[in-house]
Chain A
Amino acid sequence: MMQRGRRLFQFSYYSYSFLRGKSNPSCSSSLIRTPFRFLSSNNPVDVDTSASSSSFIHHQHTTTDTSGGFNYQQQQARLLQASLNHVIRLGWTEAAMIAAARDLALSPSIVGSISSSSSSSPSAAAALVEYFMDQCLQNLIHIIQDSGDLQDLPPSHRISNLIKLRLQMQAPYISNWPQALSIQAQPSNISTSFKQRAMLVDEFLNASYNEQPTAPDWYLKRTIVAGIYSTTELYMLTDNSTDFEDTWIFLNERVRDAFDLEKTFQEVKYFAEAVGAGFQGFKNKGGY
């Protein structure tokens, strides 16, 4: 009875989606996310590689009309960059993008055509947050490449500094950052934001460690650093101290805890080995 009911529900849901033309949820990630989608101006042709598969998903034609003016990709990047100036006043919304379009002498209609990489329907605010995260990551990479003094510090200090640098880029927008976080947490955007955060954490760890970690270590380290980053980010939202000093103290403590945890695991391992060796010896001697 329950099976029939559930199947009926599924059938009616999918037939409704069919009629409405919404993209099938199981293939919603049809648009392949390339890193720095908005910032790469040397790749103006955006090819949708899933083009001929299904009639639910929309198809794209992009032309590279660079005769004299900008093409669409470039205008989109300019618009998103200009929108960041309005975010403080108007929030991570379409209103900020409309104001930016007016600044650039473009019709605000263009805002309706901007789509983020994980949803097939236009979602300008999600695209704006995605652009900001990409831009911060690119800035971070530039800083890492330019600064040489990071090499002298031990890994824990390096990670701590990098996380601090990255969070300071968000500091001007901190009053609206909860809205950006909620946009990133929406189901249609969560895959993109997860990928962006994963890339960010990769960057932190690649800059801090020079050796090639083994596989279980790799996942463990990334999970721990991602956890430290997220909790510090959330702490920063309610921090009222000057220059976010409390946040940096919090960050240092978390990093220290994580490294202490690593040391603790090491010690437990040695202890277990020692006990095991003792037992072996005990057995060999005939046991008393």
Chain B
Amino acid sequence: MAKVSDQLKRPFSYTYNVVVLVLLLIFVSLPKVNRMSARIVARRLGSKLLHRFAPAATLHSHATSFGFKEVNEEEKSQLVGNVFTKVASNYDIMNDLMSGGLHRLWKDRLVSKLSPFPGMKHLDVAGGTGDVAFRILESINSVSRRATEDTLEDDLQEETQIYVCDINPNMLNVGKKRAQERGLGDLGSLVWVEGDAEKLTFKDDSMDGYTIAFGIRNVTHIEKVLAEAYRVLKKGGRFLCLELSHVDTPVFKQLYDYYSFSVIPVLGELVAGDRDSYQYLVESVRRFPPQEVFASMIADAGFQKVEYENLVGGVVAIHSGVKI
């Protein structure tokens, strides 16, 4: 609870408040578009049929989804790379605007579920700008924790290592800058690594924890990422995944769809000057497997005690599993 109040005490800028008000006005005044849901359904059916009748021309590479488009696998990582190169500088502002500041609370919840401890070796994948890593480090180093600590743990504090892995060097650079601003830049505990989530360079059984926040829907092969996570974790290590997910409650679903498809790309255009990246974002959320399916994929990778928790009625879900 202390962390939430700390977040709230930080002053929000005046311009942020004005932009939020403008967004609300847009949201209320534009007419509701019913065609949207029909279009989504048609696209989903269309892509299902495409999978069945894919031409034999694509012999070695399989088709995968980039939003609602179908692309080759090699292309997908390149396209995703382009998206994040473009959004890296505005990534955090856009997160704040799109979620109304809620993403901070979601990441707080993820870290409190993780229950970090001193001496932990943790890997945060696709965590380019470092949000989750900073929270973990601050939770371990927090004053309230130090007050109740055993002397043994003080020594272990030195051994804490948080690895931040991201495929995109621009995102990592933004993260390193933010670390400096927060005063965490010179600690040896944060290690920035450029790498692919599907082929991690870490040894087997080396990590106590693995988190991936809003990254797993961008990968080409989800199963490979889960298998790598399983490989890299120690016995007893935990896998946690924070991701935008599917909403099922009737009225809220319509509101959420409207917000996603009408407001977010417009926001992307206004603030970041890039409508397509944010169109990709909302489409990739719809293409990602729903909560139950993803949970069964995690269980198939070998994890036990697989659970998920819906936040904001399913807009975001935290999936967790333990390697035994």
Contacts and interface: CB of A to CB of B under 8 A. Distances in A.
Given A108-B236, A110-B238, A21 B310 contact: yes
Contact of B313 (A18, A69, A105, A113): A18
Given A72-B322, A109-B236, A122-B115, A62 B310 contact: no
A63 B304 contact: yes
Contacts of A63: 299, 304, 306
A211 interface: no
B310 to A, nearest CB: 4
A61 B310 CA distance: 15
Nearest to A52: B292
Contact of B308 (A58, A72, A98, A121): A58
A22 to B, nearest CB: 9
A74 to B, nearest CB: 9
B236 A110 contact: yes
Interface in A1-58: 18-21, 55-56, 58
Contacts of B305: 60, 62, 72, 113
Nearest to A44: B304
B198 interface: no
A93 B316 CA distance: 31
Contacts of B295: 59, 61
A122 B299 contact: no
B307 interface: yes
A111 interface: yes
Contacts of A59: 291-292, 295, 307-308
A198 B265 CA distance: 58
Contacts of A110: 236-238, 322
B114 interface: yes
B34 to A, nearest CB: 24
A65 interface: yes
Given A107-B208, A108-B208, A111-B115, A20 B304 contact: no
Nearest to B205: A107
A18 B117 contact: no
A120 to B, nearest CB: 8
Contact of B310 (A55, A109, A121): A55
B234 A107 contact: yes
Interface residues of B, number: 43
Summarize B's interface: helix, strand, loop or mixed: mixed
B125 to A, nearest CB: 16
A75 interface: yes
5 contacts: A55-B249, A62-B304, A107-B236, A110-B237, A113-B320
A55 B313 contact: yes
A49 to B, nearest CB: 15
B309 interface: yes
Nearest to B4: A20
B83 to A, nearest CB: 28
B115 A90 contact: no
Contacts of A56: 310
User: Max chain A CB contacts within 10 Å: which of B150, B308, B322?
Assistant: B322
B235 A106 contact: yes
A71 B115 contact: no
User: Max chain A CB contacts within 10 Å: which of B102, B117, B120, B248?
Assistant: B117
B247 to A, nearest CB: 8
B153 interface: yes
Contacts of B312: 18-19, 21
A70 interface: yes
Nearest to A59: B308
A72 B324 contact: yes
B238 A109 contact: yes
B237 A109 contact: yes
A95 B208 CA distance: 16
B115 A94 contact: yes
A157 B113 CA distance: 48
A236 interface: no
A101 interface: yes
A179 to B, nearest CB: 12
B311 A21 contact: yes
